Chain A
Amino acid sequence: MGNEEAVFFSRVLTETTLSFHIIYATIGVGVPLMIMIAQWVGIKKNDEHYILLARRWARGFIITVAVGVVTGTAIGLQLSLLWPNFMELAGNVIALPLFMETFAFFFEAIFLGIYLYTWDRFENQKKHLLLLIPVAIGASFSAVFITMVNAFMNAPRGFDIVNGELININPLVAMFNPAMPTKVAHVVVTAYMTAAFVLAAIAAFRLLKGSNHEYHKKALYLTMKIGLIFAIATAVIGDFSGKYLAEYQPEKLAAAEWHFETEGNAPLIMYGVLDDGEVKYAIKIPYALSILAHSIPSAEVIGLDQFPEDEIPPLYIHYLFDIMVTIGVWMVLLAAVFWIGTKRRWKMVTTRWFRWLIVLGGPLSIIAIEAGWWLAEVGRQPWVLRKIMRTQDAATTSGHVDTMLVLFCLLYLILGIGSVVILRRMFRKNPVEQEIEDRNMEKGGDML
């Protein structure tokens, strides 16, 4: 296997691992916060249903955490296995947040273990709630630190290269690079949003499948409300991300928007297809790109004509951008209609088709997360470290990457099917009605 093939297979393997991992990682970041909120609402309202909600979410969460942890370990090691030259350089500059991430992960792991095994140990539910705070903090901060590493790849800072030697290294400057604020905020907020909509989809699905229990209605209302808040936050931060790109990474924005020539009054191109360098069937929104990039309708936006051909990312990232933004906007609308509709007792939000839309929202949010990551990562090509190291110079020289790719694909298939089967079985065998009944019986028994 030549080096070119090793680069290709390394890219495919990294993409496969990350694409699989982020499904579980996103849930892993978002769900602890949801559990915490449910537990807190339950204590505040003195409502058993919310406590039970927290408990059942926690039970499902363990399965996703397990897959998240093992695939996270996989990508952690694969970074060094597949991209040794990159890690050698990056290790010198960006190891600090990588190291901090393991502490956040450690912290979360310890308290998750304690939380899961102390359900009936404390008389006071508030004490139990306290255990969730480090779990949620640990989960979110793993995301914060690891995204800092990724932000560094987009905007490498904190070192100078003189005659091929790294000098003047400043780990803090590397951590707090210009890409960091928008990236970190976007990743964390979309994880909360996705987790909320996935949980909402489950509640809506149970309501559709025969159960009409108060518990599912409460779950649905709570998660849709949280989802709405974070979906709006996502849109706002997405706008900041656009402005960041225009300033620091114009080639990514230009490729994502099919903005070929540098010009003012730049229109935003939504949808469409690219045919021999010509954009067809697109919707053009006048001035929107200038507004997105610089908040001024007449502002000049740098186009692809300013870059040498071999430094332009693949143009298909436009489709990814469309998918991500469309789903984001759609989810804001859906959640807003649901929230207002519930407040005003509109019939529509309790109809079957509306609930099906909510069910669909869960997978859609995950698709948006995937599309967003592909956009961000492919949009950085051909660089692994923007303007410093090209992807092809970072990859391993080992000749076995293709075999490993096959093995890992098999692994993810097994883990994916396994986790879905287990989760389904867990909740099918023990529906909420059954659990409420069991708990009531236990309590009755205590009183005797």
Chain B
Amino acid sequence: MSLEIIGITVLWTFLFGYILIGAIDFGAGFFNAYSLLTGKKHILTNIIQRYLSPVWEVTNVFLVFFFVGIIGFFPKTAFYYGTTLLVPVSIGIILLAIRGSYYAFETYGSRGHKGYSFMYGLSGLLLPASLSIVLTISEGGFVEMVDGNPVLDYWLLFTSPLTWSIVVLSIAATLYISAVFLTWYANKARYFEAANLLRKYALIWALPTIITAGGIIFELRRHNPEHYANIQNFWPMFLISFIMFIGTVWLLWIRRNYGLAFILLAGQFIFAFFGYGASHYPYLLYPYLTIYDSFTNPAMAISLIVVFIMGLGLLIPSLYLLMRLFLFDKDYVRGKSKHHA
């Protein structure tokens, strides 16, 4: 396995980590705000905050890790994506900033402030949309080289059905992932009312998620035939992903084993995400940038990988400790006592 492949696999894994736990986080914020609006606050707020509070900061690190890592392993991405993404990513940063700080303001500063909760919920819904633009652009066709500098064609971007399908998918998937996870978490915490409500949300969002995901593959046939052809080569991964999706929905439907349902959901997205990533190979930005011509020098690559392995040695036990103390601790999950500062 070449260093380039190791590099992109590491980064893709962290991006997946961000998408999964970020989706839980974004969706939770939205459901929280929605429950305020529909007068169901008493059902959801407690359970959502108990999960989010100790981990909200960790979620953010996955994103930082990804964008720092990609500059490290593939410095040329700074040139191509940095120039073209100024507007969409800046909007993403602003949403992220409002979200992160208003979460802290609401949770630790003034409990139950409605304005803060709405800002938090709304920004969480817009964020996946603003960040998913990057995926659209990577498919090629929206960036043109003018005098040796990449320029993004906004008109083409915003009129493309591919853009909007990816936006819809990101929102639907966010709400779906979040609802499935929270169903399991609420059930574990014995908040059965919350679990039932979230189960309903999960089932509602399952269909749009799978329809748009399929639709995107179809649209790629017109937009980027090469990528579409590659996807065909990975059809077993997408098939496994679809079977897992059916499994999750089935378990939710018969109200059994929500833990397994969430594991299947994670599996569904792992197979789809890595299948998509593998079929995108070798392009980072079609057709200008491949992982080979943008890869960093060997000295840097090796030192980054060494640091990465040492860093994981620290992180994995720490993350395990965090999960044991909060996610899998019965007393904490069930809210037996107040522990926070």
- Residues from chain B with a CB closer than 8 A to the CB of A117 are 53-54, 325-326, 332, 339-341
**What does the 1/0 interface line of B319-334 toward A look like (CB < 8 Å)?**
1011001100000100
**A110 in contact (CB, < 8 A):** yes
A172 to B151 Cα, complex, angstroms: 35
A120 to B78 Cα, complex, angstroms: 46
A81 & B109 in contact (Cβ 8 Å cutoff): no
**A384 in contact (CB, < 8 A):** no
A400 to B88 Cα, complex, angstroms: 11
- Residues from chain A with a CB closer than 8 A to the CB of B76 are 88
**What does the 1/0 interface line of A79-96 toward B look like (CB < 8 Å)?**
011111101111111011
A96 & B300 in contact (Cβ 8 Å cutoff): yes
CB-contact partner of A80 in B82, B100, B297, B337, under 8 A: B82
Q: How far is the CB of B113 from chain A (nearest CB, A)?
A: 9
A415 & B79 in contact (Cβ 8 Å cutoff): no
A397 to B76 Cα, complex, angstroms: 15
B304 & A99 in contact (Cβ 8 Å cutoff): yes
- Which positions 285-327 of chain B face chain A at CB distance < 8 Å? 296-297, 299-300, 303-304, 307-308, 311, 314-315, 318-319, 321-322, 325-326
- Which positions 48-90 of chain A face chain B at CB distance < 8 Å? 55, 58-59, 62-63, 65-67, 69-74, 76-78, 80-85, 87-90
- Residues from chain B with a CB closer than 8 A to the CB of A70 are 60, 96-97, 99-101
Q: How far is the CB of A212 from chain B (nearest CB, A)?
A: 26
**What does the 1/0 interface line of B79-96 toward A look like (CB < 8 Å)?**
111111111011101101
- Residues from chain A with a CB closer than 8 A to the CB of B63 are 73
CB-contact partner of A111 in B73, B100, B318, under 8 A: B318
B307 & A103 in contact (Cβ 8 Å cutoff): yes
Instruction: Check A407/B90 contact, CB under 8 A, given A70-B101, A92-B300, A397-B149.
Output: yes
Instruction: Check A95/B75 contact, CB under 8 A, given A70-B100, A106-B61, A114-B54.
Output: yes
B68 & A110 in contact (Cβ 8 Å cutoff): no
- Which positions 176-225 of chain B face chain A at CB distance < 8 Å? none
CB-contact partner of A96 in B87, B307, B314, under 8 A: B307
**B271 in contact (CB, < 8 A):** no
**B34 in contact (CB, < 8 A):** no
Q: How far is the CB of A278 from chain B (nearest CB, A)?
A: 43
**B282 in contact (CB, < 8 A):** no
**A178 in contact (CB, < 8 A):** no
- Residues from chain A with a CB closer than 8 A to the CB of B89 are 77, 81
A98 to B55 Cα, complex, angstroms: 23
- Give the interface segment out of A163-171, A194-202, A240-248: A163-171
A171 & B93 in contact (Cβ 8 Å cutoff): no
A422 & B94 in contact (Cβ 8 Å cutoff): no
**B105 in contact (CB, < 8 A):** yes
Instruction: Check A77/B67 contact, CB under 8 A, given A106-B315, A117-B340, A404-B90.
Output: yes
| Interface range for A | 35 or more
CB-contact partner of A81 in B75, B85, B341, under 8 A: B85
**A287 in contact (CB, < 8 A):** no
Q: How far is the CB of B311 from chain A (nearest CB, A)?
A: 4
**A353 in contact (CB, < 8 A):** no
- Residues from chain A with a CB closer than 8 A to the CB of B303 are 96, 171-172
**B38 in contact (CB, < 8 A):** no
- Residues from chain B with a CB closer than 8 A to the CB of A62 are 104, 108, 341
B58 & A120 in contact (Cβ 8 Å cutoff): no
CB-contact partner of B319 in A99, A110, A134, under 8 A: A110
CB-contact partner of A113 in B80, B103, B322, under 8 A: B322
**B126 in contact (CB, < 8 A):** no
Q: How far is the CB of B332 from chain A (nearest CB, A)?
A: 8
CB-contact partner of B86 in A63, A92, A120, A400, under 8 A: A400
List chain B positions with a Cβ less than 8 A from chain A. Answer: 53-55, 57-58, 60-61, 63-65, 67-69, 71-76, 78-87, 89-91, 93-94, 96-105, 108-110, 149, 151, 296-297, 299-300, 303-304, 307-308, 311, 314-315, 318-319, 321-322, 325-326, 332, 337-341
Q: A66-B100, A113-B322 are in contact. List 9 more A-B contacts (CB 8 A).
A: A76-B68, A80-B82, A81-B82, A81-B90, A95-B296, A110-B58, A119-B340, A172-B303, A397-B149
Mind listing 6 A-B residue pairs with CB under 8 Å? A81-B90, A83-B82, A87-B75, A114-B325, A171-B299, A414-B98
